[in-house]
Structure 1
């Protein structure tokens, strides 16, 4: 755990109890989909180009390796945004690399090729096709058609000198015979990456592991296990996206995709910020590469630019993440603060060190509060905590059904 030695000694970490050897086989790498898959959410506002640039700056600072710049096949505006963002990355000499989404059709891939050639920077083509039987049935597709589109799309990107990742939509509900054919076709055509997708948020950890083992079996049979990289792209329909992203890294995927605040289609994608947070807490991020001091700023920017509010109880960036009005909890934090050990105060009732990310513990007053809450609040706000004043605020709070606002407490004090 990334904690002060004294505090760490006070925490028995069951997470490490039966672990032997390193958690991850290699340093984790990330693909941020916030300005592509993220803005496909029906509830978001498409950020301005300047806002997208700021998000890319923050991604680069946090050590995200790759950003998906969009889907140029969507139209003229999408193409203009992708080109401006690519030129911006070059001009600011950012470390982050780029990819773009494309259906397995020439009209989607050709704009990526043209933008890359104009700017003089390679863009990874992430060409996708629906591979599940339920999708094929709905669309009237057969495997021969899927194979033909896969072959033509991958070849088009490769023949124009671009790296190509082959994306099977709804991989976690696709038949192994179909995946075997499509994986082999894409690799034979020159794809250097397979992207396994939980497009409908269907997978459980068992499903992820089974799919990964199957895919590795195909690669071994082709003698390509060391040549082809694997990405995991998850959605959150069952609420498992973050856990599956962590498992994906632990079990050997090369990259995991995510979006800030977990935005995206339907219930959203893997939360990029929570993925980074957890890997930091697990000691798996190199601080020379990953500056997470701006992690909260990143989440707040995603929220502001897309119009998606941050839920009060959202981890790390939520209003209530480090806020309590419960007497027993507040008392423990207050006692810890009195020792002068800020890290102890951060961790006594939280697994996340607030100050590392620019947050701090907040003691409020409510109907579950004790007198210590009132004493702390009054002193923190510059009031003399007389017995009469403490009693007045405490008794008022006990009659309410909510946590008091600052204005409510001041009104009681003024009375």
Structure 2
């Protein structure tokens, strides 16, 4: 399985975003260090930054530039120095007719011509079918079945599909699953679930972005997809450095001045924090009681918070951690300290347990 990161291109397409060359270079290097094999830099025909970025990069990852099925677009991408040109064109009747005014055969001809330009220049070629998941499967096969491209990516451009619909569409395709990719938007809140369903079906490439940043509701979240793939038995290895997942994604979003909601899975400040008395008491003995996985597996850190909400079970656990004999008097005294001086973290709470008489 390969992940293609969309953060720089999709992130910058949102209103009010204009990342600098320095930001893009730093983020591309972060993603490369994480082990992401494909990093999409932008749309070279309309973004001169792409060439400026590629000139400063020396990555193990392959860089990707997108291009419409127009020879001039592809030539601009080649000139920008990317390793892969991802040609895109609308394939659904609605988008193809409104945006191109073309029949499926005419669209196929323009796609093949654009791909030939890239190949003749010695650059690898992908093809992305815009609105692919709303395209009639027969039409999709006419356009893509034997297209000479490293990957054919089906895009859920408007975020209209759910996992069952994704699988139904994939079942109708004539192309080898090893040559297929998927690209989802999160308008229905299921972009990551869709990507997981596609990979379990057999798709080889998944487009994703750090924090899910992208147009409208965003895209498949890279960190959520990786964690879900690891958690789901039988899912292919996502191929990135798991120990660095959370720190790298945090750093990328910080570099781009992107905010992170407190409850954002894996990245939010509260997702590995526990204060409820029942929770903290149980987690002192067995963290898996209230966690789906150890955050350290992905480079994260859990935070136990003790205060007015802490109960007798938590107090007893803290006293035991402090090597103090557990008595009713000490439990009551520690609860008083936690209520008056809390909330406090684990180390401070253990210190408080050591100090009570």
In the superposition, the TM-score normalised over structure 1's length comes to 0.72
Q: CA deviation at 1:388?
A: 4.8
Distance 1:379 1:263, change over 3 A: farther
Pairing 1:125–2:85 present: yes
Pairing 1:172–2:133 present: yes
Equivalents in 2 of 1:378, 1:320: separation in Å? Answer: 25
Q: CA deviation at 1:269?
A: 0.5
SS of equivalent residue, structure 1 residue 194: strand
- Structure-to-structure mapping, 1:216-255, within 5 angstroms: 217=174, 219=175, 225=176, 229-255=179-205
Equivalents in 2 of 1:58, 1:244: separation in Å? Answer: 26
- Structure-to-structure mapping, 1:377-396, within 5 angstroms: 387-388=332-333, 390-391=335-336, 393-394=338-339
The aligned residue for residue 230 of structure 2 is 280
SS of equivalent residue, structure 1 residue 304: helix
**More off after superposition, 33-42 vs 64-73:** 33-42
Given that 1:67 and 1:96 are in contact with CA atoms closer than 8 Å, whether structure 2 keeps it comes out as yes
119, 127, 152: which is aligned to 2:113? 152
Distance 1:263 1:132, change over 3 A: same
Given that 1:38 and 1:269 are in contact with CA atoms closer than 8 Å, whether structure 2 keeps it comes out as no
Distance 1:308 1:211, change over 3 A: same
Q: CA deviation at 1:51?
A: 2.5
Distance 1:113 1:392, change over 3 A: closer
Pairing 1:72–2:44 present: yes
80, 92, 102: which is aligned to 1:142? 102
The aligned residue for residue 355 of structure 1 is 296
Residue-by-residue CA offset, 1:249-298 (whole Å, 9 max, x unaligned): 111111111000001010000011111222233476769x6322221222
130, 133, 143: which is aligned to 1:182? 143
Name the count of aligned residue pairs: 339
Q: CA deviation at 1:34?
A: 0.7
Q: CA deviation at 1:202?
A: 1.2
Instruction: Give unpaired runs (5+ residues) of structure 2.
Output: 322-329, 353-357
Given that 1:157 and 1:163 are in contact with CA atoms closer than 8 Å, whether structure 2 keeps it comes out as yes
Equivalents in 1 of 2:25, 2:193: separation in Å? Answer: 29
Given that 2:51 and 2:79 are in contact with CA atoms closer than 8 Å, whether structure 1 keeps it comes out as no
SS of equivalent residue, structure 2 residue 269: coil
Given that 1:205 and 1:247 are in contact with CA atoms closer than 8 Å, whether structure 2 keeps it comes out as yes
Residue-by-residue CA offset, 1:324-351 (whole Å, 9 max, x unaligned): 11111111012x1xxxxxxx43x22101
Instruction: Give unpaired runs (5+ residues) of structure 1.
Output: 1-27, 117-121, 220-224, 337-343, 398-403
Given that 1:46 and 1:305 are in contact with CA atoms closer than 8 Å, whether structure 2 keeps it comes out as no
Equivalents in 2 of 1:63, 1:170: separation in Å? Answer: 29
Pairing 1:330–2:291 present: no
Equivalents in 2 of 1:98, 1:360: separation in Å? Answer: 32
Q: Which of the pair has the greater relative contact order for Cα pairs under 8 Å at 6+ separation?
A: 1
Residue-by-residue CA offset, 1:204-260 (whole Å, 9 max, x unaligned): 222212221222x2x3xxxxx48x711111111111111111121111111111000
Q: CA deviation at 1:53?
A: 2.3
Distance 1:379 1:323, change over 3 A: farther
Pairing 1:82–2:50 present: yes
Pairing 1:162–2:123 present: yes
Given that 1:29 and 1:256 are in contact with CA atoms closer than 8 Å, whether structure 2 keeps it comes out as yes
Pairing 1:202–2:160 present: yes
291, 304, 317: which is aligned to 2:267? 317
SS of equivalent residue, structure 1 residue 164: strand
Given that 2:92 and 2:134 are in contact with CA atoms closer than 8 Å, whether structure 1 keeps it comes out as yes
SS of equivalent residue, structure 2 residue 42: coil
- Structure-to-structure mapping, 1:287-306, within 5 angstroms: 290-306=240-256
Given that 1:233 and 1:257 are in contact with CA atoms closer than 8 Å, whether structure 2 keeps it comes out as yes
**More off after superposition, 352-361 vs 388-397:** 388-397
Q: CA deviation at 1:30?
A: 0.9
